């Protein structure tokens, strides 16, 4: 996941691929595929739903910022920081640097970190372009995209100024107009702190989340509508009005 990679994660991000799923490119190369997941035939209503608040404004990179000083506000920021759209001339490098500058705490930012994120993202873009049959540095083919969207979360700890959660995201990839969309799920540990009037993802909070969960089983990945989504303790996300 983007947020975890930006904070220098060591592999807590995981991925799980449905029966027809494909690769889910990320700058975090440590994510590894796990057991096959097949969507259920019957819908099971999620027991927990939340309509996450929107940010109050957009920053100069087009990211929503200014989230409420609440647990839901922190989760909304983390969801925004793990949502990406790579298509057309919008590259992985564009998205990773946008998220890094908009959602990572200032104390975790440095010229060296930004350079490393950009280099990793450029490598991902080159691999994507090769897979989709276009020269490096060129826009993706018409109808091609890679998108990540957060569909659920599970709170680990919460306080007035720090919230740590598991984030569950759906990643889809389509290699062109006539190509079949491939998808997978990812599960990422993320921590946020209230800093300078907004929520930011930080290495300190994420490290505390790692410590708090090191003896716990990771929540099983499943789609909203699957009974396992409920038994794993996920909260589904509704769009805010």
Residue 240: count other Cβ atoms within 10 Å of its Cβ: 11
Whole-number Å distance between alpha carbons of 221 and 42: 17
State pLDDT tens for residues 79-91: 999 999 999 999 9
Lowest-confidence pick of 12-16, 132-136, 137-141, 218-222: 12-16
pLDDT above 90 coverage of the chain, percent: 80
Q: Which whole-number Å values give the CA distances from 241 to 17, 47, 57, 134, in the listed order?
A: 31, 20, 15, 39
Q: Which whole-number Å values give the CA distances from 32 to 184, 193, 206, in the listed order?
A: 11, 28, 20
Domain that holds residue 134: 2-238
Q: What is the pLDDT of residue 198?
A: 98
Q: What is the mean pLDDT of residues 166-187?
A: 96
How many domains does the chain contain in total?
Answer: 1
- pLDDT band of residue 197 (cuts 50, 70, 90) is very high
Asked if residue 4 lies in contact with residue 188, where contact means CB atoms within 8 angstroms, the answer is yes
């Amino acid at each position: 996941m983007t947020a975890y990679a930006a904070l220098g994660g060591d592999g807590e991000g995981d991925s799980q691929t449905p029966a027809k799923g494909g690769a889910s490119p990320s700058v975090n190369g440590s994510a590894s595929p796990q057991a096959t997941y097949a969507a259920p035939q019957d819908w099971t209503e999620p027991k927990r739903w939340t309509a996450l608040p929107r940010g109050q404004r957009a920053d100069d990179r087009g990211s929503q910022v200014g989230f409420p000083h609440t647990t839901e506000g922190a989760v909304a920021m983390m969801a925004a920081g793990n949502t990406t759209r790579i298509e057309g001339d919008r590259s992985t490098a564009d998205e990773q640097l946008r998220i890094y500058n908009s959602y990572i705490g200032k104390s975790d930012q440095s010229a060296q970190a930004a350079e490393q994120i950009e280099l990793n993202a450029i490598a991902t873009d080159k691999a994507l372009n090769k897979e989709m049959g276009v020269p490096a540095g060129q826009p993706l083919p018409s109808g091609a995209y890679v998108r990540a969207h957060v569909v659920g979360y599970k709170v680990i700890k919460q306080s007035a100024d720090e919230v740590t959660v598991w984030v569950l995201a759906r990643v889809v990839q389509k290699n062109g107009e006539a190509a079949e969309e491939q998808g997978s799920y990812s599960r990422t540990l993320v921590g946020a702190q209230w800093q300078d009037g907004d929520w930011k993802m930080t290495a300190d909070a994420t490290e505390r989340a790692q410590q708090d969960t090191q003896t716990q089983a990771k929540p099983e990945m499943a789609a909203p509508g699957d009974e396992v989504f409920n038994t794993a303790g996920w909260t589904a996300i509704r769009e805010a009005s």
